[in-house]
Structure 1
Amino acid sequence: SEPSSRLKQWPVQLKLVPPQAPFFDGSNLLIVADCVPFAYGNFHTDFLGENSIVVGCPKLDDAEFYVDKLEKIIERNRIEKIKVVHMEVPCCFGLNKIVEDALKSNEKNLEVEDITISVEGEVKTSD
């Protein structure tokens, strides 16, 4: 049988999601680099689940816009936990800095899990 999508929301692009979308409230927030779903074959099964998701590219997109948008999402919703999933390539590590900067202005003490995917499509690190 064909695997089915586990996506529970639309849109997914960080540029497009409204900061106070109902799917954020009370959820775990999955922040994913654009390339991850292409490189990691079990993305839907292993990461989507009940998480809300935002997707973006820290190299090609406006990092300050992303920081501002994430600040608003975190401030206006009850986010339980954040998972950052990015590739092992240098251009993806900016995603961690974006999340770190977004959390600085917020008084919520959120747990952040960092997951790195190798270019071969394997989970390389998780903490």
Structure 2
Amino acid sequence: MKVIRKIIEIDPDRCDGCGQCVISCAEGAIEIIDGKATLVSEAYCDGLGACLGECPQGALKLVEREAEDFDPEAVEHYLEHKHAGQAAKARTFHAVPQCPSHQIHMLKKEPAPFHNPNPASTASALSHWPVQIRLIPPDAPFLQEANLLVAADCTAVAVPNFHEKFLNGRVVMIGCPKFDNIMDYAERFAKIFAHNAIRRVTVLSMEVPCCSALLGVVRKGMENAGKKVPLEEVVVGIQGDVLETRTIIPDNSPQTSSNQD
């Protein structure tokens, strides 16, 4: 049944497909389709506008118009079906014999210091395996007491001294918020923060708009786990230079340190 009510309207010309609104919509009313945020059903949008403040491009607004009435039962069924589909995919994935790339390896017994005493060294600073966000289990032993680096996968290619500048002393998790499921990311980070005593987190993203969702999923996961971990964001240009470093959640502990030059 259609009624006059408030509902989200999305400006496709302004939307850059970053996915921040998808994370903030608890009803699952918004999805990224063909690179743009899309209202998948009027009946799933409650019209409260929780997603409004999350859009960096101002592509969302509340309008009052004739629309399908909000249907919480339909939302519940939709989310159950969606989660069931994700669970089935996960079961299928785990049912397949795992190749060696899925096995956890502790490559170093002790983490390297934040500052490499020999910047010219070509030795790898990687301390664990796997590194993909989707492949790291929340109970991986290297996550406990970790200084976490959540990096967009392009950063490792863009930054010429990625290992020395960002990876030393950190546990890295890489992924692409543009092509991966960011809601899966948020759920995984919630489990990681709930299961482990993470010391601090650095989110390393590219300057391109789609990368901005990476910070959002980490914050959402932290929020869902009820944790408040020191968090900073570093934005890298496509030429590999650091464009911006900002503190999101301050570290009030006396041993605060950074690997930034």
TM-score range, shorter chain: over 0.9
Aligned residue number for residue 125 of structure 1 = 244
- For normalisation by structure 1, the TM-score amounts to 0.96
Which one of 14, 24, 29 corresponds to residue 148 of structure 2? 29
Aligned residue number for residue 157 of structure 2 = 38
Give the Cα–Cα distance (whole angstroms) in 1 for the partners of residues 188 and 161 of structure 2.
28
Q: Mark the structure with the bigger radius of gyration.
A: 2
Which one of 113, 122, 141 corresponds to residue 3 of structure 1? 122
Q: Unaligned 5+ residue runs, structure 2?
A: 1-119, 247-261
Contact 2:199 2:229 in 1 (8 A): yes
Equivalent pairs counted in the alignment come to 127
Give the Cα–Cα distance (whole angstroms) in 1 for the partners of residues 134 and 225 of structure 2.
20
The reply to whether residue 86 of structure 1 matches residue 216 of structure 2 is no
Equivalent AA in structure 1 for residue 147 of structure 2: N
Equivalent AA in structure 2 for residue 8 of structure 1: S
The reply to whether residue 116 of structure 1 matches residue 200 of structure 2 is no
Residue identity (%): 37
- For normalisation by structure 2, the TM-score amounts to 0.47
Higher deviation after alignment, 94-103 or 112-121: 94-103
Deviation at 1:2, TM superposition (A): 6.1
Q: How does 1:6-85 map to 2 (within 5 A)?
A: 6-85=125-204
SS at match of 2:232: strand
Q: CA RMSD in A?
A: 1.1
SS at match of 2:143: coil
Contact 2:191 2:225 in 1 (8 A): no
Deviation at 1:89, TM superposition (A): 0.5
Deviation at 1:4, TM superposition (A): 1.2
Large movers: runs of 4+ above 2 Å: none
Which one of 96, 105, 110 corresponds to residue 215 of structure 2? 96
Q: Unaligned 5+ residue runs, structure 1?
A: none
Give the Cα–Cα distance (whole angstroms) in 1 for the partners of residues 174 and 131 of structure 2.
6
Ranked by relative contact order (alpha carbons within 8 Å, sequence separation 6 or more), the top structure is 1
Q: What are the superposed Cα offsets for residues 7-50 of structure 1, whole Å, 9 maximum, x if unpaired?
A: 00000000101111111101111100010000001110011112
SS at match of 2:128: coil
Equivalent AA in structure 2 for residue 20 of structure 1: D
Aligned residue number for residue 106 of structure 1 = 225
